[in-house]
């Protein structure tokens, strides 16, 4: 049970980091697009 618990936490952290990386990659594009529109 503990192994599944830690695997769940590891998977959650990996997904969280991946989402942050995707947001980090998309934010500059959105900011430049908004700056261009303004």
Q: What is the pLDDT of residues 1-38, one digit of tens each?
A: 799 999 999 999 999 998 888 887 777 766 666 666 65
What is the pLDDT at residue 5? Answer: 95
> How many distinct structural domains can be found in the chain?
1
Helix and strand tally (H, E) in the chain?
A: 1, 0
pLDDT of residue 13: 95
The pair of three-digit structure tokens given for residue 16, joined into one six-digit string: 């969280």
Q: In which domain, by residue range, is 4 found?
A: 1-38
- pLDDT at position 21 is 85
Q: What pLDDT, on the 0 to 100 scale, is given for residue 37?
A: 61
Q: In this structure, what token pair is assigned to residue 11?
A: 């998977």
Global pTM reads 0.53
Q: Which two tokens stand for residue 26?
A: 């998309």
- For tokens 């959650």, the residue is 12
């Amino acid at each position: 049970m503990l192994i599944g618990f830690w695997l769940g936490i590891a998977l959650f952290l990996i997904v969280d980091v991946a989402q942050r990386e995707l947001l980090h990659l998309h934010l500059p594009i959105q900011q430049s697009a908004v700056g261009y529109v303004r």
